[in-house]
Structure 1
Amino acid sequence: MPQVLNPKTTHWEFSGLPGAIGITLGLPTLITFFALITNETYSLDGINLDITAVLSQLPSTPTEWFELCFNKACWTAYLVWFFGLVVLDFILPGKNMKGVALRDNTQLNYKINGLAMSGTLVVVLLARVYQSDNWFLPELQFIYDNQLQLTIVTTIFSFLLAVFVYVCSFIPLAKLNGSGNRERILSINGNTGNVIYDWFIGRELNPRIGTWDIKLFCELRPGLLLWFLINLSCIHNQYHTYGEVTDSLILLNALQAFYVFDGVLNEEGVLSMIDITTDGFGFMLSFGDLAWLPWSYSVQTRYVSLPEHKVNLGPVNIALIVGIKALGYYIFHSSNKQKSDFRQGKLDHLNLKSIKTQTGSKLLCDGWWGLSQHINYLGDWLIGWSWCLPTGFQTPLTYFYVIYFGTLLLHRQTRDEAKCKAKYGKQWEEYESKVPYKIIPYVY
């Protein structure tokens, strides 16, 4: 019996439709809230929240709401940013790589040009600094002064992009020879038939316009690089407004910039991640990539850039935080490299312990991967702690990221465990007996 290309989705993620609606409404509200409590007008004081003062920043009439949501300058700036990066993605040089084999046994081609893209951005910024008067860049000041408006713009844009790819998922693709049509490959999670849920989770696996892959572009371009610019805008404003830049703000910029450019420069590793191989591209990823990432991950930087929240760390604290970052980075990259090398047969001479599965693959249960099932997640989480600690202990707000990210990693671990149980059966039970800890060795 031939395999169905696009089987009906039977398992609903995030508690199904209620969860999808809750996330769709809740997370945009949350990043808007972040913008309202980390600005020059109102800044959160410890755990004290004056909700009346926070809400007073919002419009009171429909006309004012329209002006906030559809600010012409902000929409123009963001559209130039997004589609400017699209143009650069087409014209900048890069290498072509094939993705994983899809259910119809085809492999998509991807253009990998993160080095050229990030290099171009840095060169443009340096050129603007060279041309500027006293290092003042209107573009960075614009970002800082319009955080609330840009938060809403990116949210609305991600909503519209999710609608676009959802509608396109119903349009058949022409065959390569130009005759007839063929089905699009849908996500195994987004083919329920429920419009709202499929729009949220992503109906099509790899939405494309010609050879341009929308999902990979959004994963590593507009939101990730905007996060870098938001952080720079905080340094820019602190220097030009208050005549100084605190060491905590410099450290946060350095640590997060390293993360951003490490991700962009190693984008080929994303081709094997669950976001690309399994998840469809809907509102969840569209919003997550374009709005959630830049505006929630920059909360620490935006908070400490305000004068009432200045944090001066000193050399000892800086060294400790950099040490945590270095440890997390080492665990994350060393463990991922070990698994990659093992799969490619580069470590056969070490005779690492493994379990052969019924599919012919091997489950590594030695080295890093003998410590826990997802030791790389621990490294990633430690990196997150290095972003929160520079803010001191003034408010729980700046530790939101490690709480959120820890929850996300637990959810990923649960999804991966369910997938592996179904795929490997008894071999997975044997693996769990040898490697009982999920993420943190000897703890969980």
Structure 2
Amino acid sequence: MSELNPKTKHKEFNGLPGVLSISLGLPILLVFLYQLSNEHYHTKGLSIDLTQVFTLERPLWDMILDSKVWSFYLLWFFGLMILDLSLPGYHKQGVELRDGTKLTYLINGVSISLILIITLLTRFWLTQGELPELQFLYQNILELTIITTIFSALLATFVYIISFQPLRKPNGKGTNERILAIGGNTGNPIYDWFIGRELNPRIGSWDIKLFCELRPGMLLWLLINLSCLHQQWLKLGYITDSMILVNVLQAIYVFDGVLNEDGCLTMMDITTDGFGFMLSFGDLSLVPFSYSLQSRYLAVEPIELGEIFSTVVLLISFTGFYIFKSSNNQKSNFRQGKLSHLNSIQTQRSTKLLCDGWWGLSQHINYFGDWIHALSWSLSTGFITPFTYYYILYFASLLLHRQSRDEIKCKEKYGKSWDEYEKAVPYKIIPYVY
């Protein structure tokens, strides 16, 4: 094995037993979440009717082979792929890879967002508000949950297989060897399939990982929310303030990600992680069908929050979003040399670690803002059941895991400079707490 692709020594999630548990457990969790919140049954308080939870609406095999749902999803995925390849935008280079090259990405989130909004408004006008596509989506959430899970596994298998194929065009150092992920090159097929063997799998210039990160799952999350709002309007004849809040707050988050996709090029998902089932399932299935939990619950349990509580939720949301955006913008401007007056620590790698402004409060102050913003989504469902607060618990565990991984990577990368940085910024996520 060449130095370009060293053998993976450290295994995440306790190795093979862990990745097998996650691969089986998370899809089951998504089905469980659906079973607790649908048109036939939804939980209240802490009570759960186990008979309802373990009784599927349709036989599992029928849902797996549902040709209409498969057609719906394939049209969605590959339709977005065509738009991603054809719509105008601008090109931007990613971070430098281990072979000294940089990948070029087409950034066209603005164009895709405009197409989606125009299409939805046009369909709304033509159908006088009764959109059959949104009705179909709402009525087949469980089927789509299962089908996107299968599709994620197939996509992970596809990119795992092509990771063994030589590149057609030599890279900058005269080799056609693919760049593998540092964490996904163990030689164990199941583990590498889950973590992702190749760092940036591509078909031509189309980057599969960045596409899945921001297109099919994120935008499907938006559509599911709209389908729940649409369902509530059809059922009640009006839309509750809680449903409006969830849709607006989460739409801001979705479009912020899609419209600022170039910011993803420096994120760990793109720069470090391979693309395997972990990211494939997370992007295509876990995001749309767990992040939409609040709107799905409100579709079957309408809640009016009132002006005072709605205002409190909005203040919490905008506080978190401001911290998240302001801190990320500050770091981005610092990296571009625009904030040279801020305190920083010079490393042996000719880079600087920012330890001033937002980033003097905690090492991951953006995570803190992101979590506060997410808390507002759950608060929009009131306090009927803790079930709708699942997301903030999951998100907290995700952020803690990312923080620990990032800390390990930075200690290896910066050495003594990182020790100095930790003394200057001792708090990891929450200022003065953790």
TM range (shorter): over 0.9
- Deviations 1:319-356, CA, capped at 9 Å, x for gaps: 111111111111111111111211221112x3x22211
Structure 1 match to 2:406:
416
Matched, 1:22 2:21: yes
Taking the aligned partners of 2:282 and 2:73, their CA distance within structure 1 comes to 16
Structure 2 match to 1:117:
112
Structure 1 match to 2:388:
398
Q: Which residue of 212, 226, 241 maps to 1:218?
A: 212
Structure 2 match to 1:430:
420
CA RMSD of aligned residues (A): 1.4
Structure 2 match to 1:4:
3
Structure 2 match to 1:343:
335
Taking the aligned partners of 1:231 and 1:338, their CA distance within structure 2 comes to 31
Matched letter for residue 132 of structure 1: T
Matched letter for residue 77 of structure 1: F
Taking the aligned partners of 1:49 and 1:254, their CA distance within structure 2 comes to 30
Where does 1:210-289 land on structure 2 (aligned, <5 Å)?
210-289=204-283
Structure 1 length-normalised TM:
0.95
Matched letter for residue 210 of structure 1: G
Structure 2 match to 1:443:
433
Tell whether the 8 Å contact from 1:144 to 1:230 is kept in structure 2 after alignment.
yes
List gaps (5 residues or longer) in structure 2.
Answer: none
Instruction: Give the fraction of aligned pairs with identical amino acids, expressed as a percent.
Output: 61
Matched letter for residue 323 of structure 2: I
Q: Which residue of 344, 360, 363 maps to 1:370?
A: 360
Matched, 1:96 2:91: yes
Where does 1:33-52 land on structure 2 (aligned, <5 Å)?
33-52=32-51
List gaps (5 residues or longer) in structure 1.
Answer: none
Tell whether the 8 Å contact from 1:172 to 1:181 is kept in structure 2 after alignment.
no
Equivalenced residue count is: 432
SS of residue paired to 1:99: strand
SS of residue paired to 1:14: helix
SS of residue paired to 2:353: strand
- Deviations 1:189-217, CA, capped at 9 Å, x for gaps: 00000010000000000001111000010
Q: Which residue of 335, 339, 344 maps to 1:354?
A: 344
Where does 1:70-149 land on structure 2 (aligned, <5 Å)?
70-133=65-128, 135-149=129-143
Taking the aligned partners of 2:350 and 2:79, their CA distance within structure 1 comes to 45
Matched, 1:315 2:307: yes
The ranges of structure 1 where at least 4 consecutive aligned residues each deviate by more than 3 angstroms after the TM superposition are none
Structure 2 length-normalised TM:
0.97
Structure 1 match to 2:320:
328
| 1:242 shift after superposition | 2.1
| 1:65 shift after superposition | 2.6
SS of residue paired to 1:305: helix
| 1:68 shift after superposition | 1.2
Matched letter for residue 245 of structure 2: L
Taking the aligned partners of 2:66 and 2:236, their CA distance within structure 1 comes to 28
Matched, 1:174 2:168: yes
| 1:176 shift after superposition | 4.5
Taking the aligned partners of 2:85 and 2:349, their CA distance within structure 1 comes to 39
SS of residue paired to 1:108: strand
Tell whether the 8 Å contact from 1:174 to 1:181 is kept in structure 2 after alignment.
no
